[in-house]
Structure 1
Amino acid sequence: MSFEIPSAFYTSDAFASVSLLLVLFAARLIVGRALRRRKDLTEQVARRWTANLRNLLLLVAVIGLVMIWAPQLRTFALSLTAVVVALVVATKELILCLSGAALRTFTRAFSVGDVVEVGATKGEVLDLSLLAAQLEEFENSGGSIVPTGRIVTLP
C-alpha cells in the first residue's frame, strides 16, 4: 500500500507555511550552533547575537506567513468587517440610547420631577432609565398647563 501526496499539496499555502517555518528553524539551529562554537565571543555577546537572531527570524516568520496567507486574511478581515457593521446597524438604537443616557447623566440635564419639552411634547419626568425617559404629558389650554394623563416614553 503506497501513500501519495496530491500535487496540489505542494502548491498549497499550508505547504509553503510549513516549509518556511522548517527553513527558519533549521537556520536558527545552524547559526546557534555556530555561535556557541566560536571561542572568540564572550558568553554575553553570544547570548545577545542569539536573541537578535531569534527576534529576526520571528519577524521573518511573521512577515512570511502574512504574505503567504494574505488572500485568506483579506477575506477574513472583510467578513469580520461585515459582521461588525451588521452588529452596529442592528444595535444602533441601543447605542444611541446608552450614549444619550450617559450624556444626560454627566451633564445633569434633567431629573425626575422636572418639566421638559421635547419637540411638541411637554411633560413632567416620571422615570429615567438607561434606555428611556417617561413623561406625563401636558397640554396648553387657555394659557395654562393641564396634564393629559398620557404617559409618553422617549428614548
Structure 2
Amino acid sequence: MQVLWLLLAGLSCHGAGGFMMHLVTECPVAANGSVLAVDVYLAFNKNRLVCYDPKSHLFYGCDSGLLQNVAFGIASTLNMNRTFIHLAASKQQGCQDQIQGLWAQTALRRRAWDHGAAGTRRRDAGVEGSMRGQRDRTSGWKGPWMGLGG
C-alpha cells in the first residue's frame, strides 16, 4: 500500500493531473451473435490492475509493473468481500443477456449472394444487382461498395 500512497501524494501536487479507477466489463461477440467470453477487471488509468477469474470466482492482481503489490492487496481485499464476487458474476450474466437484445437490433444481416450460372449477383429483398455494379435510374450508380445503404 506504500506505493499507492506515494502515487497519491505525487498526483496530488499542483499540475500533476489525476487518476481514475473503474470497473470494466468487456463482451467480445462472435459473428453469429454469441458471446465469446466475458472479461471483468478493475482498471487504473485504463490499465488492468485487478482481474476476475470466472472459473475460480476470485480476483487476482494482473498488473506486473510498479503497482503489482497494490494489485495483489486490492485483489485479496475484494476476495474477502463476497459482494464484489457476486457483482462480477452478475456482470457476466448481464453481458450475455444484453448482447442478445442488442444483436437482434443492430446486426446487419440482409444481403445474400447468389453464385448461379449467370455470375455472382446480389439479392436484396427481391431486387437483384450485379456484383460489378449497375446504373440505377432513381439513385445513380450502385455497386458492391454501396451495399450497406440499400
TM-score (norm 1): 0.30
Which structure is larger by alpha-carbon Rg, 1 or 2? 1
Higher share in helix = 1
Query: Could you say which structure has the greater relative contact order, defined with CA pairs below 8 angstroms and 6 or more residues apart?
Result: 2
What TM-score, normalized to structure 2? Answer: 0.31
